Amino acid sequence: MKNILLLFCVLFAAINSFSFPDMIRHGYTNCTACHVSPGGGGLLNAYGRSLSKELISTWSTKNEAGVLHGLINTEKVDEWLALGGDIRGAQVHQENDLVKRGRWIDMQKGFEIGIIQPKWTIASFVGLQNVSENKWYPYSTRYYAMITPIDALYIKFGRFMPNFGINLPDHILSTRGPLMFGYGMERDTAEVSWLGENWNFIVSHYKTPENISANNQSGNTLTATYTVSNFKSGLQFLSEKDDLQTRTITGAIGYLGWSKEFGTLFEADQVVTSPSAGGPDKKGLSLIQRSAYEIFKGFHIVALNDYFQSDVDNGATKNYKFGPGIQWFPRPHLDLQAFWTREQTSTSKEGDYAWLVLHYYL
């Protein structure tokens, strides 16, 4: 049981506040529109807080998007100080012919602070994390310094998640957790980002801490995207090596804003793993397609396809989930996602896999 809980934590816990890439529908093509970090997630800047009220939330009052719902006036410090924090939890349900289980999981409580200057930024997240059942302890897995020598150029170093793939909060998705971009995967990273009006280039070099991998793991990522109107697409590449194997990921990503109400996110990655000791390569696939339609301001219905196969030559490694969901931002500081999918695996009959994620941000 403990292992199952740990697995759920690994799949669902969202150590970062993740970005909302669906903003492509409104022409926001770069994460830095709303977030301090070029990769999105985490601290919101003043503009992001404003958009959380103006564009994202169903209801709001005048200063509600501010820190602590506007109870404290941060207007005088907004230009240099960013404050944030997260409380997040998930309810998970899985049911098929082999298993029926469900549980509420507390995942995250934390506080984040950033000092923002025109040419540099430092930020750190400090909080409490549930890594196993009912055990909480302080931690700071994300901290970084960032230099911005010119507009659009960001040089960032510290411990954080290297930029790779679409930064969605659902770590269960085949393109997040299974590719090791899920919970607790922050690495010691140096990253250079050029986030221009049309072209984005992001290059990362990382070394994985020993608490994640004790095998001297390090890697590089490269992402290049191009934006035309409200459509952003591109290619990404990862090369990683440790004492036991090398891993490469080659993928394509797309953020497609068909209209102000309707958007699609897709990511397709091929993973090739080569054992250092020799032997055949293993090829895997991760594919997601997530289309969302905003029924009314802040309320989205979502259709999800999520395919994962760790070894294309072994059908037993397949896992496919598909189904509807909703995402709702009722007021600034609150969001929830709920999905009810059908799950196909080779080891059980088709069953249900559902999850609800509740998130409060400071």
Q: Given the complex with another protein, which of 63 and 91 has the nearer CB atom?
A: 63
Interface pick for another protein out of 29, 37, 175, 189 (rule CB under 8 A): 29
Take residue 63 and report the two structure tokens written for it: 């200063």
The least distance separating another protein from the CB of residue 156, rounded to whole angstroms, comes to 14
- Judged by CB under 8 A, does residue 88 bind another protein? no
Question: How many Å apart are CA 111 and CA 139, to the nearest integer?
Answer: 10
Of 275, 345, 283, 350, nearest to 317 (Cα)? 345
Judged by CB, which is closer to another protein: 50, or 245?
Answer: 50
Contacts to another protein from residues 39-68, by CB under 8 A: 45-47, 49-51, 53-55
The binder of another protein chosen from 5, 77, 152, 203 (CB under 8 A): 152
Supply the Cα-derived Rg of the chain in whole angstroms. 20
As measured in angstroms, the least distance from the Cβ of 62 to another protein is 9
Residue 80: C-alpha distances to residues 2, 17, 31, 114, 200 (Å): 43, 20, 19, 8, 25
What is the rounded CA–CA span in Å between residue 67 and residue 215? 41
CB 70 within 8 A of CB 49: no
- CA–CA distance, 253 with 247 (Å, rounded to integer): 19
Q: How far is the CB of 145 from another protein (least distance, A)?
A: 17
Q: Judged by CB under 8 A, does residue 151 bind another protein?
A: yes
Among residues 36 and 238, whose Cβ is nearest to another protein? 36
Q: Verify binding: residue 195, another protein, rule CB under 8 A.
A: yes
Rounded CA-CA distance 356/142 in Å is 25
Question: Which 277-316 positions form the footprint of another protein (CB under 8 A)?
Answer: none
Would the CA dihedral through 254, 14, 331, 103 be positive or negative?
positive
Q: Which of 79, 210, 281, 350 binds another protein (CB under 8 A)?
A: 79
CB 263 within 8 A of CB 255: yes
Residue choice 4, 6, 7, 27 for contact with another protein (CB under 8 A): 27
Name beta bridge partners: 158. Answer: 144, 189
Cα separation of 202 and 233, whole Å? Answer: 14
Q: How far is CA 312 from the centre of its chain?
A: 25
Among the listed residues 144, 183, 122, 105, the one whose alpha carbon sits nearest the alpha carbon of residue 356: 105
Shortest distance in whole angstroms from residue 117 CB to another protein: 12
Minimum CB separation of residue 49 from another protein in Å reads 7
DSSP 331: S
Total residues in contact with another protein, by rule CB under 8 A: 24
Asked if 33 touches another protein (CB under 8 A), the answer is yes
Binds another protein (CB under 8 A): choice among 18, 20, 28, 255: 28
Please choose, out of 137-145, 147-155, 273-281, 305-313, the segment that lies near another protein by the rule CB under 8 A. Answer: 147-155
Q: Which stretch binds another protein (CB under 8 A): 21-29, 121-129, 179-187, 288-296?
A: 21-29
Contact residues toward another protein (CB under 8 A) are 26-30, 32-33, 45-47, 49-51, 53-55, 78-79, 148, 151-152, 195-197
